[in-house]
C-alpha cells in the first residue's frame, strides 16, 4: 500500500514535535512537508532531539506547494492563524486536522471568547475530533477541529454519565496540567524560577476551555453549569482532571464506563486513581470512578501533548483515511 503524503504547518512547538515523532514512524502516512513561519532550516536543527533521525527540510509556509505534494495537513498553529490557512487548503481539496481552537466552537461562543471569525462557512462544517463520540462523522470529514487538552480529559470522564447526572446541579472540574501545555515560549509564570516547587490556579471560572466543555456537553444532552478551575503544576507533561457530579440515582459507575467504552481502544478503566506517568507519551485516557451516595467522583489522566493534542490528531487522521485508528499511535508509557 502506497503511503499517504502529509504535511505539518507549525512544527516548531511542543505539539509540532510530537506530531513529527509520530508521523516519522507511521506505517501509512509519510511526512512529506514541514513548515514554520520562518522556514530555512531542517528538522534536526529545529529540534536537536532529532539529530541523526531526520534532516527533512523545514520551509516557510507555501500553501500551493503543500497542496501539490500532500493529501492532508496538520495545523499546529495559534488560533486566528489557522482560520487564515484552512480555506486555502480546503479549496485545493486537501484534508485538514486543525490543532488550534479556531474550529472547535460555534460562532457565537468562539467570538465571545477569542476573536472575530473570518471563516464561518467552514466553521459550520468542521467535525469535533473526539473519536469516542464522533467517529462516524470524523470518517466523512474534510476538516477536523482537534479538541483542547482540558476538554478531552474532562469530556471523556463526564460523557458516559450524562443520562445519570442530576439536572440543575453543577459539574465541577478541578484540573492540573504540565507546564508544556502553556506552550514553548516562556512567560513570567512558566519559566523555571516561577514554576519550580510551585503550583497555582489560573483563569479560575474564566478559562476559555470551560466554554468548550460546556458546549460539547450541551450538544450531547447535558445542560448543567460547568465550574472549571485549571492549575499549572511543576511537571513537564501530563494532565489530571478531578470531576465531581451529583447523580439522580445511585448507579454502578464502573459498569456504565465499561459499556460506554466497550469499543474504545484508547480508554482504560482503572481500579485505582490514575497517575500522569501511567499515560505519559501515549494516547490513552485512564479513568477511575468512585461513588458515595449520589456524589460521583471521576478522575481522568492524559498526556496533554499527546491525547490532548498530537496523538489524538493522528487518530483523527487515521479515521479520516479509513485506516485502523491505532495505526502509528504510541501505547507504551515513558515511565513505569
Catalytic residues: 149
231 neighbors 239 (Cβ within 8 angstroms) = no
Which grid coordinates are listed for 120? 464561518
Among candidate residues 61, 45, 50, the one with its CA nearest the CA of residue 25:
50
Q: How many CB atoms lie within 10 A of CB 144?
A: 30
CA–CA separation, 28 and 245 (whole Å):
41
End-to-end CA distance of the chain: 35
Count CA within 13 A, CB hemisphere, residue 93: 2
Q: State which H helix or E strand residue 128 sits in.
A: strand 127-128
The span from the CA of 288 to the CA of 264, in Å, is 15
Q: How far apart are CA 179 and CA 234, in angstroms?
A: 7
Dist. CA 3–CA 30, nearest whole Å: 6
Indicate the pairing of strand 295-302 with strand 285-292: antiparallel
Distances (CA, A) of 331 to 24, 49, 266, 307: 16, 21, 9, 11
Pairing of strands 200-201, 226-232: antiparallel
Amino acid at each position: 500500500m502506497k503511503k499517504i503524503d502529509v504535511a505539518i504547518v507549525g512544527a516548531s512547538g511542543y505539539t509540532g514535535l510530537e506530531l513529527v515523532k509520530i508521523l516519522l514512524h507511521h506505517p501509512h502516512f509519510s511526512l512529506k512537508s514541514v513548515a514554520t513561519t520562518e522556514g530555512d532550516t531542517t528538522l534536526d536543527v529545529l529540534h536537536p532531539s532529532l539529530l541523526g533521525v531526520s534532516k527533512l527540510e523545514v520551509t516557510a509556509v507555501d500553501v500551493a506547494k503543500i497542496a501539490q505534494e500532500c493529501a492532508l495537513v496538520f495545523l499546529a498553529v495559534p488560533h486566528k492563524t489557522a482560520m487564515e490557512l484552512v480555506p486555502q487548503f480546503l479549496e485545493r481539496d486537501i484534508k485538514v486536522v486543525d490543532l488550534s481552537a479556531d474550529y472547535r466552537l460555534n460562532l457565537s461562543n468562539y467570538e465571545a471568547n477569542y476573536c472575530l471569525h473570518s471563516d464561518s462557512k467552514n466553521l459550520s462544517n468542521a467535525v469535533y475530533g473526539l473519536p469516542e463520540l464522533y467517529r462516524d462523522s470524523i470518517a466523512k470529514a474534510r476538516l477536523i477541529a482537534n479538541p483542547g487538552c482540558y476538554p478531552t480529559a474532562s469530556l471523556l470522564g463526564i460523557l458516559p454519565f450524562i443520562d445519570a447526572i442530576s439536572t440543575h446541579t453543577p459539574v465541577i472540574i478541578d484540573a492540573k496540567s504540565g507546564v508544556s501545555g502553556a506552550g514553548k515560549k516562556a512567560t513570567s509564570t512558566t519559566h523555571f524560577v516561577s514554576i519550580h516547587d510551585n503550583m497555582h490556579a489560573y483563569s479560575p471560572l474564566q478559562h476559555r476551555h470551560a466554554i468548550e466543555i460546556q458546549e460539547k456537553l450541551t450538544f450531547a444532552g447535558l445542560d448543567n453549569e460547568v465550574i472549571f478551575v485549571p492549575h499549572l503544576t511543576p511537571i513537564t507533561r501530563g494532565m489530571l482532571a478531578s470531576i465531581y457530579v451529583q447523580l439522580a440515582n445511585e448507579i454502578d459507575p464502573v459498569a456504565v464506563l465499561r459499556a460506554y467504552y466497550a469499543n474504545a481502544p484508547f480508554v482504560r478503566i482503572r481500579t485505582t486513581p490514575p497517575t500522569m506517568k501511567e499515560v505519559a507519551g501515549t494516547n490513552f485516557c485512564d479513568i477511575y470512578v468512585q461513588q458515595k451516595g449520589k456524589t460521583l467522583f471521576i478522575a481522568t489522566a492524559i498526556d496533554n501533548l499527546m491525547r490532548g493534542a498530537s496523538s489524538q490528531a493522528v487518530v483523527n487522521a487515521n479515521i479520516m483515511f479509513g485506516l485502523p485508528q491505532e495505526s502509528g499511535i504510541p501505547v507504551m508509557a515513558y515511565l513505569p
